[in-house]
Chain A
Amino acid sequence: MKALDRVMLLIGLLMFAGAGLALVMTPTKKITSESDKVNLEKMIPESFGGWKIDTSIVPVLPNPELLAKLEKIYNQTLARTYINSKGLRVMLSIAYSDDQNEGMNIHRPEICYPAQGFDILKTVAAELVTQYGKLPVTRLLAQQRARSEPITYWVIVGDRITYFGLAHKLAQLRYGLTGKVADGMLVRVSSIDRDENGAYQLQQEFLEAMLAGMSEKDRVRIAGRFGV
């Protein structure tokens, strides 16, 4: 009887230790400080390499229900359309949060486009070769009736570019286990185009021009440290 009580006490103590361990392990330190806070509006130049802002088209946004949820998760979102000298348009959408979590999934194009009645016809992991290195991206083909919209996107956790899913969680863990809270960003470009490959080519040109038009520091923010 006495011995058994000791067993119960030991188990109870172990449990308290487990709860304490969880408390100690919880990351609290945000890697972005107040001073170098991201400002998406300023970070992405209004014009670069022959591209400038075009106000006639607004990129696809999550539906209002989702948007309400998004506002809780994201500190900042940016939605712009750029046009080049040939009159070709590329839509850019960026979502940023200084506290990365599961909720990032909501802005995932695979989820946000179908929610608007788009079909996702293809999802392919691809590599975008830029002058700064290879950027691992995901390419989607979304379609809604006559509107065919090829999409290129990537997601950043801290200073690393990653894919959604398990890799994303692992990237968060890399920070979390060292007590840090990583920030996160989702960068998406798309264009309305029936010619899928042509659209990806255009998006590539656009992204290269955009990265070239940014400062080194902002480029790392937007695209992570890649291709090293």
Chain B
Amino acid sequence: MSAALDARTPRGIAMGIEWLPVIAGLLVLYIPTFYGLAATIWQSEEHAHGPIILAVIVWFIWEERKALLVAPAGTAPGPGYSLLVFGLLLYALGRSQGIILFEVGALAPILAGVLLATRGWEGLRALWFPLIFIVFLVPLPGFVVDALTVPLKQHVSEIAEQLLYAAGYPIARNGVVLIVGQYQLLVADACSGLNSMFSLSALGLVYLRLMRYRSWLHNGLIIASILPIAFGANIVRVMILVLVTYHLGDETGQGFTHSFAGMLLFMVALLMLLGLDGVIRLASARWRGSAMV
């Protein structure tokens, strides 16, 4: 049994070769899709995280490859083929009608179906994380983005204005246009922070997966705080942009926007997330310590 666990043993290789038809099938299905995405929306700032998410999914599957190479403990052909066929139909509908949500999203039921049909429920359990992660590969549908972007922008500019006003800056707001001193700044769609919320959620989940905390409370607290943190970090970003523009001029502000502010936002949010994790760890250690006494 332990020999079969190693991919490099002859049996491992044989089991690897066994997967070739499935791999070929997946390539035929998804090379056109990802090629198309790479040529279109992945080039936009909003979806630039796409290839990274894909790489993360592939990497997590590779991490769990043992589950694919051992002989199956049992299979679940019924649910497996049903899911697979459902996924393939969803794919065909999405691909032919230009519904990216379906086309990319179908990867989840397709892979789940393959796992169930070949490795049973155990196989599915081993690879649940990369399967869930496919959610982040799917571009948010337009109507969701539209519904969220405008109110987010509105709140971000409102709060940034109020905070800077409280700090004594000569700032006024007209909708999503901030007027500071002689400058006018438009809080663009990209400043809504929707994208950073999306990518931080993904990063947060990867972090939790890597840390493998046992406590549901711990995991739950971190998951629940990802979105508020991303929102807060985005306000910080907008405020920094306003301050840079006010003190150093429009040009510096504009240059800053596209280079550094996004990175900064991400770092601030990440530090906040790690900080929170540290606090929770400390608190749970303390709690356990006092419980022992």
Contacts and interface: CB of A to CB of B under 8 A. Distances in A.
A127 to B, nearest CB: 22
A4 B118 contact: yes
Interface string B141-164: 011001000100100000000000
B117 A172 contact: no
Contact of A143 (B85, B175, B188): B175
Nearest to A6: B21
Interface residues of A, number: 44
Given A8-B19, A8-B22, A12-B22, A17 B142 contact: no
A32 B19 CA distance: 46
A19 interface: yes
B97 A177 contact: yes
Nearest to B142: A105
Contact of A15 (B88, B175, B188): B88
B170 to A, nearest CB: 18
Contacts of B19: 8
B63 interface: no
Given A8-B18, A14-B25, A22-B91, A111 B97 contact: no
Given A15-B28, A26-B96, A166 B174 contact: no
B237 interface: no
A145 B22 CA distance: 60
A131 B85 CA distance: 50
Given A15-B25, A18-B88, A21-B88, A145 B96 contact: no
Chief secondary structure at chain B's binding surface? helix
A14 B84 contact: yes
B99 A169 contact: yes
A2 to B, nearest CB: 11
Interface in B117-138: 117-118
A13 B96 contact: no
The 4 closest A-B CB pairs, nearest first, are A15-B25, A12-B21, A18-B88, A119-B175
Interface of A: 4-5, 7-9, 11-19, 21-27, 101-102, 105, 108, 110-111, 114-115, 117-120, 143-145, 164-166, 169, 172-173, 176-177
Interface of B: 18-22, 24-26, 28-29, 32, 72, 75, 77, 84-85, 88-89, 91-93, 95-100, 110, 114, 117-118, 142-143, 146, 150, 153, 174-177, 186, 188-189
27 contacts: A4-B18, A4-B72, A7-B117, A8-B18, A11-B114, A14-B25, A14-B84, A15-B24, A15-B28, A17-B88, A19-B25, A19-B29, A22-B96, A23-B96, A25-B92, A25-B95, A25-B96, A27-B97, A102-B98, A102-B100, A114-B150, A114-B175, A114-B176, A120-B150, A144-B175, A172-B97, A176-B96
